[in-house]
């Protein structure tokens, strides 16, 4: 089964890279760009009996390793195939 | 004083830390390979700087979840002193032994330079040989030293006097200029500046020596 | 053996000439297979075979009593006493860095580190020489940012300090930047490893990263002139993994502590091909390779791709038979791939098998050492006439000139760059970037290695021979200035297309000049690298023979640097002053001209002055020392003031040839020393006795730099000018 | 208008980080995880007259700044709102 974890900074945590992108875009003449935010996606394949089992497993992966709950939130999507 | 320094794949300040400790402690310091899970009796564990596991995913994230860290966490709860420097600090926050997290420097680039920091609290086994308020010159060398934590956590750190060091010229954007913090039991210290690179008049000055002297005096 | 149809187009695409192809057919006695064609193409590329330069490189002196191993191995080796050796080399990664600055520069550092630890040395320092296009060029800023981040990203992660280098800007590099990296390591003298395959039946072992389709044909790319369609060559960039490199260093050094390695060689340009051929050629043996055993990153890679891949962080070793498991255990501990991919034979032939077929079978010697040695026609430029300047044409005050020079791209502080490099990891950096030479303590001793990289390309263009001499002489001076005894150099010769006689003339002239200086100064060449075809659409770079010098400081307590540690010290200028402004930074930045002859390099004077300064340092009379180079006396003085946080006064003697010549002329063989007043007499007397021109030119103290007769320049203003330009421009 | 750029490595480009994640998951007992790959998502708001104009603009941003065309490919989605 294929799964996809989307990880982003919690609101309130300043993302210096997003700010830098915004600034760099402005310097390059792309004016009027606002609200830049970044999300990291990790896709993986796993063996699981069904979607729910897969989702539970990927949630555990996210909580134990993939995301840092102090600064990040995550969401999981399972794409059967 | 029974001290050891952990080596993870990708650690690169392990030797430097051991050399500095041995110089001040005047006795051998053990090396711990990350795969070891049964640790000898210890008074102090050093987690060195570097790029453990390439700092892939997040700095310190993979090392923080390695088996040896579970053991170190257990020892830390029992009062063993744990000193995490640079990547070691990142590992300790990722392992939940210290609050907050370390993210990319505000200016985004790696920064290597001596910075001025002040000793905020002298009440810890790491800092009791310093006078509070003393200004130190310590090298930093990191890409992800921007310490972030929530307002309540910050208030708690301040209330419990757990901020060990503050930058005078904040090189990375850290919240409240924090350069080093203590764990709730005051026996765990994480700091971005490198005291082990400041124990030698020929290299980086000598302002880091008192940190190791504090440990020597307290732990033996 | 599958015989692909080898068309003339295919041969040309592989960068081989018709004559070379005829030679290949003669060697094989039949047409080559595609894999064989690929092998010849990379092995006979300029990059691997040095076919245009080999004839002239022989002119370098390469021996001295302290040289343990000169050119020909992965890196040069010199004795530093106490049973230890320093192992060092410089290499270019110019083309890849232009295409993808971060990865290109990063993998350049990775490659040079491997050249050094391959020989059993622990890398202890990296230096980088960078040449970018004009700051106004639209790509320059992006290239600077990427290259600097890439060098830092790799070196910092591996944990080897980057302690020095050079950075210059000139429009001649607009389409071809230079990224040269130098690495220095330290080994036990009796534990140096070489790349000579030996012992029939010994297994050939592959360790490190898996092989992917990275940089296939990188070696031929590095030998072909760029054109506007460089973009199309993009997929050939390699991506580095410094974490893997760190593991490789530790694993290799751990295994090298034992005795099961017979030979070891990193897989650099042309990957498995060049590493296997070079090991076999040096050992006079043959090798059988089984490509099915090579760890792959991608499925379905062809034999051609596997042989030519330039995936990074890979090594090839010959292990003593029966010791395979011992070696495997070390690599498994470090979680690295380990595979037996072949064995050593006595046939003198390379036999490559893939999927049950022999895909290549070629004699080793003619491929490895048999590439044509070309005697390309060359033309030396006419000797330039000296430039005569007239102070009246300058409408700026000496003070304004100084501030201009200190903030120009070439002379401004490169702090913005080197603060992105970890220069203090390993805790043995005694002097990092910012001085004449970096100083690294030999771990656990009171000795130090002094390291520098130098070249003045504008001198080389005006007069290659003088430029070649000057590059070596400046490196020598920079080592002497920190109290070191210069031992040897490595070099990286960056030039344009050698098929053009005037470019070939630059190469030959520079080599001959360097060779003369090396001989006169007893400063041999122990390793190096040549990078040709640095041109885009027939516009060549400035001839840039970078010289990486290494010296030894016997007692770190006796080293010097450029900071004066007290007020009231007397400044003594060593060397002759003619006020030479031809090809100076002053001429370019203030007069807007780049012309005339560069300052002559008198090698006898270089040696005499260096010996004198060395003796004065040894006698404990020198409180600060700086060599004079770009920008001359006033710039050197300003740099000393900035380094020490103290001001000083610089006098202009009545007999000065011209005011600007005195202050900004670039006469060679000069040093500026700070001396306590009580030592002045002895120093001057010894100078006279030694036939050295030495004169008092100023005094330290205060918080401003004062040039006689000019309003003072505060240290803050000096600092603002010196430190301001680069960060402001990068913020752009 | 809101736009979203998804940036990933070209096939064949080494991604040591993805490999490290796979290995770390295995060490943590998540066996059978394969094919880990990463995507960076950058979301931003911009002013544009219509979807096509927005898309063209964001493509230009991607080519000049957001993606590294030498080793990465990108795709752009415009979510009107
Ligand atoms: N790319 C770089 N990397 C590291 N250090 C650099 C770099 N460029 C310049 N530096 C450092 O800046 C200082 C000044 O450089 P330079 O003017 O070339 O010195 P010099 O004229 O003495 O050769 C030196 O200490 C040098 O090591
Ligand atoms: Mg110099």
| Residue pLDDT, tens place only, B77-107 | 999 999 999 999 999 999 999 999 999 999 9
Q: Quick one: pLDDT at residue B219?
A: 92
Q: Which residues 5-24 of D have a C-beta within 8 angstroms of C?
A: 10, 12-14, 16, 20, 23
CA-to-CA distance for C597 and C458, rounded, in angstroms? 10
The predicted structure's pLDDT at residue C226: 45
Name the residue of chain A whose CA is nearest to B57's CA.
A66
SS3 assignment, position C641: helix
Q: Residue C225 is encoded by which pair of tokens?
A: 């002139």
Tell me, yes or no, if C679 is annotated catalytic: no
Rounded CA-CA distance C618/C625 in Å is: 13
Task: Copy the structure tokens of residue C730.
Answer: 């990068």
- Residue owning tokens 């191993």: C69
Count CB neighbours of A12 within 10 A. 9
H, E, C per residue of C207-247: EECCECCCCCCHHHHCCCCECHHHHHHHHHCCCCCHHHHHH
Question: With contact defined as beta carbons under 8 Å apart, do C50 and C374 qualify?
Answer: no
Cα separations in angstroms, C211 against A38, C36, C272, C702: 32, 19, 9, 61
Q: What residue ranges of chain C have pLDDT lower than 70?
A: 1-4, 217-236
Q: How many structural domains compose chain B? A: 1
Nearest atom in ligand 1 to the alpha carbon of residue C434 is 25
The verdict on whether B196 is a catalytic residue reads: yes
ipTM here: 0.94
For residue C627, the ligand closest to its alpha carbon is 2
C546 CB-near residues (< 8 Å, 6+ apart): C90, C129, C166, C178, C180, C453, C454, C455, C471, C491, C492, C493, C494
Query: % helix / strand / coil in chain A, to the nearest 5?
Result: 35, 35, 30
Percent of chain B at pLDDT > 90 equals 98
Q: Which atom of ligand 1 is nearest to C411's Cα?
A: 17
Residues of D in contact with C241 (CB under 8 A): 14, 16
**Mean pLDDT across B122-149:** 97
Pairing of strands C261-266, C314-319: antiparallel
C525: Cα within 13 Å, side-chain hemisphere: 29
Per-residue pLDDT of chain D (81 residues; tens, 9 = 90+): 999 999 999 888 889 999 999 999 999 999 889 999 999 999 999 998 899 999 999 999 999 899 998 889 999 999 865
Q: Which of C106, C139, C231, C297 would you mutate first to test chain D, the one with the most D CBs within 10 A? A: C297
The residue whose C-alpha atom lies closest to atom 27 belonging to ligand 1 is C164
Query: Does residue C128 have its Cβ closer than 6 Å to ligand 1?
Result: yes
Contacts of residue C75, Cβ cutoff 8 Å, sequence gap at least 6: C87, C88, C89, C115, C116, C118, C119, C121, C183, C185, C490, C527
Chains B & C: contacts with CB separation below 8 Å: 83
* Chain D contact set for C100 (CB, 8 A): 68, 70-71
Classify strands B146-148 and B135-142 as parallel, antiparallel or unpaired.
unpaired
Tell me the average pLDDT across B58-76. Answer: 96
CB-based contact B101 A17, cutoff 8 Å: no
The answer to whether B219 contacts chain A (CB < 8 Å) is no
Residues of chain C contacting D23 with CB distance shorter than 8 Å: 335
pLDDT of amino acid C220: 52
CATH code of the domain containing B100: 3.40.50.880
Between C242-256 and C101-117, two packed helices, what is the crossing angle to 10 degrees? Answer: 0
Nearest residue by C-alpha to atom 8 in ligand 1: C166
Contacts of B66 in chain D (CB under 8 A): 27
Largest alpha-carbon pair distance within chain C?
Answer: 85
Instruction: Give bridge partners of residue C672 from the DSSP assignment.
Output: C573, C626
- Answer whether C330's CB lies under 8 Å from C254's CB: yes
Q: Which CATH class is domain D2-79?
A: alpha beta
pTM of the model: 0.95
Judge: B202–C246 Cβ closer than 8 Å, yes or no.
no
Annotated active-site residue in C14, C56, C93, C609: C93
Listed by start position, the domains of chain A span 2-79
A12: pLDDT confidence band, cut at 50, 70 and 90? confident
Interface test with C, best of B7, B8, B9 (most C CBs within 10 A): B9
Query: Tokens 């050093």 — which residue?
Result: B46
Q: Does B27 contact chain A (CB < 8 Å)?
A: no
Q: How distant is the Cα of A14 from the closest Cα of chain D, in angstroms?
A: 15
Query: Regarding predicted confidence, which is higher, A16 or C471?
Result: C471
C314 and chain B in contact, CB less than 8 A: no
How far apart (Å, rounded) are the C-alpha atoms in residues C597 and A52?
79
The whole-angstrom separation of Cα C158 and Cα C438 is: 19
Residues from chain C contacting residue B203 (CB–CB below 8 Å): 424, 427-430, 441
CB of C622 within 6 A of ligand 1: the answer is: no
Range of the domain at B73: 3-219
Is B58's CB within 8 Å of A68's CB?
yes
């Amino acid at each position: 089964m294929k799964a996809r974890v989307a990880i982003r900074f919690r609101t309130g945590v300043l993302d210096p890279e997003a700010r830098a992108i915004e600034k760099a875009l402005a310097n390059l003449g792309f004016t009027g760009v606002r609200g830049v935010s970044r999300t990291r996606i990790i896709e993986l394949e796993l063996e699981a009996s069904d979607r729910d089992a897969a989702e539970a497993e990927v949630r555990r992966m996210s909580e134990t390793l993939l995301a840092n709950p102090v600064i990040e939130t995550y969401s999981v999507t399972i794409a059967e195939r | 004083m029974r001290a050891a320094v952990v080596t993870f794949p990708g650690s690169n300040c392990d030797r430097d830390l051991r050399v500095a400790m041995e110089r001040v402690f005047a006795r051998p310091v053990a090396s711990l390979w990350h795969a070891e899970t049964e640790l000898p009796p210890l008074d102090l564990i050093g987690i060195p700087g570097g790029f453990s596991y390439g700092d892939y995913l997040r700095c310190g994230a993979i090392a923080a979840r390695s088996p040896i860290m579970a053991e170190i966490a257990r020892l830390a709860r029992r009062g063993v002193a744990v000193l995490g420097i640079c990547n070691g600090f990142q590992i300790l926050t990722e392992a939940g032994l210290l609050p907050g997290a370390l993210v990319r420097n505000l200016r985004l680039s790696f920064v290597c330079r001596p910075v001025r920091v002040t000793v905020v609290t002298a009440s810890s086994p790491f800092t009791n040989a310093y006078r509070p308020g003393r200004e130190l010159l310590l090298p930093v060398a990191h890409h992800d030293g921007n310490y972030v934590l929530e307002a309540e956590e910050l208030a708690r750190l301040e209330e419990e006097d757990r901020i060990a060091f503050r930058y005078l010229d904040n090189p990375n954007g850290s919240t409240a200029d924090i350069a080093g913090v203590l764990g709730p039991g005051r026996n765990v210290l994480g700091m971005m500046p490198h005291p082990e690179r400041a124990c030698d008049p020929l290299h980086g000055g000598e302002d880091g020596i008192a940190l190791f002297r504090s440990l020597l005096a307290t732990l033996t | 053996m599958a015989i692909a149809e080898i068309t003339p187009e295919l041969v040309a695409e592989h960068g081989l000439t018709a004559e070379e192809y005829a030679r290949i057919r003669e060697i094989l006695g039949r047409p080559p297979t595609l894999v064989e064609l690929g092998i010849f193409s990379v092995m006979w590329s300029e990059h691997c075979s040095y076919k245009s330069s080999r004839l002239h490189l022989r002119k370098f002196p390469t021996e001295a009593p302290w040289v343990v191993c000169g050119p020909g191995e992965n890196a040069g080796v010199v004795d530093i006493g106490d049973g230890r050796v320093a192992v060092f080399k410089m290499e270019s990664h110019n083309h890849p860095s232009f295409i993808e600055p971060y990865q290109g520069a990063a993998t350049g550092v990775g490659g040079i580190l491997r050249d050094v630890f391959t020989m059993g040395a622990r890398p202890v320092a990296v230096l980088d020489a960078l040449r970018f296009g004009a700051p106004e060029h639209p790509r320059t800023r992006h290239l600077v940012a990427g290259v600097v981040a890439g060098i830092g990203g790799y070196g910092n992660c591996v944990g080897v300090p980057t302690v020095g280098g050079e950075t210059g800007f000139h429009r001649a590099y607009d389409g071809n930047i230079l990224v040269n990296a130098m690495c220095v390591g330290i080994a036990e003298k009796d534990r140096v490893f070489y790349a000579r395959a030996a012992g029939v039946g010994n297994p050939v072992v592959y360790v490190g990263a898996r092989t992917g389709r990275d940089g296939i044909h990188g070696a031929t790319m590095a030998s072909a002139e760029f054109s506007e369609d460089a973009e199309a060559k993009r997929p050939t960039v390699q991506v580095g993994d410094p974490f893997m490199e760190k593991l490789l260093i530790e694993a290799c050094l751990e295994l090298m502590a034992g005795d099961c390695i017979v030979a070891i060689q990193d897989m650099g340009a042309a990957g498995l091909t060049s590493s296997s051929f070079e090991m076999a050629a040096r050992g006079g043996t043959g090798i059988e390779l089984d490509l099915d055993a090579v760890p792959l990153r991608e499925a379905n890679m062809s034999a051609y791709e596997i042989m030519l891949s330039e995936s990074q962080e890979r090594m090839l070793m010959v292990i003593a038979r029966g010791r395979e498991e011992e070696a495997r255990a070390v690599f498994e501990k470090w979680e690295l791939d380990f595979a037996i991919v072949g064995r050593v034979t006595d046939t003198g032939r390379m036999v490559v098998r893939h999927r049950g077929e022999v895909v290549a079978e070629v004699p080793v010697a003619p491929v490895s050492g048999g590439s044509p040695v070309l005697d390309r026609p060359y033309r030396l430029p006419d000797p330039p006439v000296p430039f005569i300047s007239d102070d009246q044409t300058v409408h700026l005050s000496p003070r304004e000139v100084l501030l201009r020079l200190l903030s120009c791209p070439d002379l401004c502080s490169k702090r913005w760059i080197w603060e992105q490099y970890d220069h203090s990891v390993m805790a043995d950096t005694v002097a990092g970037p910012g001085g004449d030479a970096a100083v690294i303590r030999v771990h656990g001793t009171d000795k130090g290695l002094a390291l520098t990289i130098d070249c003045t390309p504008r001198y080389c263009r005006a007069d290659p021979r003088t430029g070649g001499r000057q590059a070596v002489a400046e490196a020598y001076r920079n080592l002497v200035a920190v109290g070191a005894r210069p031992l040897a150099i490595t070099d990286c010769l960056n030039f344009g297309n050698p098929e053009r006689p005037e470019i070939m003339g630059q190469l030959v002239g520079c080599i001959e000049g360097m060779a003369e200086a090396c001989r006169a100064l007893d400063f041999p060449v122990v390793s190096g690298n040549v990078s040709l075809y640095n041109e885009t659409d027939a516009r060549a770079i400035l001839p840039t023979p970078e010289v990486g010098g290494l010296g030894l400081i016997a007692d770190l307590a006796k080293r010097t640097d450029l900071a004066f540690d007290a007020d009231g010290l007397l400044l003594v200028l060593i060397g002759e002053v003619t006020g030479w402004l031809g090809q100076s930074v002053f001429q370019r930045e203030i007069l807007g001209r780049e012309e005339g002859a560069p300052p002559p390099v008198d090698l006898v004077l270089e040696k005499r002055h260096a010996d004198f300064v060395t003796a004065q340092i040894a006698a404990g009379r020198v409180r600060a020392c700086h060599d004079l180079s770009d920008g001359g006396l006033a710039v050197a003085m300003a740099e000393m003031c900035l380094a020490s946080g103290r001001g000083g006064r610089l006098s202009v003697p009545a007999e000065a040839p011209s005011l600007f010549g005195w202050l900004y002329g670039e006469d060679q063989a000069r040093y500026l020393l700070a001396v306590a007043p009580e030592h002045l007499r002895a120093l001057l007397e010894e100078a006279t006795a030694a036939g050295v021109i030495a004169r008092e030119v100023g005094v330290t103290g205060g918080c401003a730099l004062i040039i006689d007769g000019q309003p003072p320049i505060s240290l803050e203003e000096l600092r603002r000018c010196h430190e301001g330009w680069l960060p402001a421009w990068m913020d752009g």
